[in-house]
Amino acid sequence: MVWLKSSSNILRFNNRWLVLASLLPWLLNGGCVQPKLTKSEIVQKSGLDAQGHPVAFSVLPKTQVGDVDWVAALKEGILTPKGSLNPNSPPESPALNLDIVFNISEAYPVPNVVFPHTPHTMWLNCNNCHPSIFIMKQGANPVSMDRIIKGEYCGRCHGVVAFPFADCLRCHSRPK
């Protein structure tokens, strides 16, 4: 019995060497090396354009600074999001036509901020933001650019999935 046990180990050992020996020429010739791709080939295969945006974005309208204008895409009927995946969900509420003005201190040489509810409520239900992100009471939300950039308030979406902070005049649009 001992001889059988040791002979099976020898056979197993020899089989492993045979497999490795058969792979040796392949490994010496480069083995599983991916072909070198040019940057444009990598971009094409990734589904991204040269700026790193999904190719599908190319059909969407752009802002003055070149970002996707999601609201224009809605207004033009290019995108028609649904309020829910549930076919039995209640009908969607119409967009809320209400602008909130955030007065900016005279110490900062920028216009006041206008928060337009209409484009936000074309995408989102009120409970996406109220009361967890914004308290519905004037002066209750200590919004600042520092906090927004850190991901609070508007920064929960802007700079992440909505337009970035670089387009200052999209928000800072009301003269003092």
Query: How far apart (Å, rounded) are the C-alpha atoms in residues 121 and 75?
Result: 13
Q: Decide if pLDDT at 168 tops 70.
A: yes
Query: How far apart (Å, rounded) are the C-alpha atoms in residues 17 and 62?
Result: 61
Domain range list for the chain:
1-33, 81-174
| Region 17-39 average pLDDT | 62
How does pLDDT run across 44-72, given as a tens digit for each residue? 677 777 777 788 888 899 988 888 898 99
How does pLDDT run across 119-162, given as a tens digit for each residue? 999 888 898 999 999 999 989 999 999 999 999 999 999 988 88
pLDDT value at position 143? 95
CATH superfamily of 81-174: Cytochrome C3 (3.90.10.10)
Residue pair 136/75 in contact (Cβ under 8 Å)? The answer is no
Q: Specify the pTM.
A: 0.65
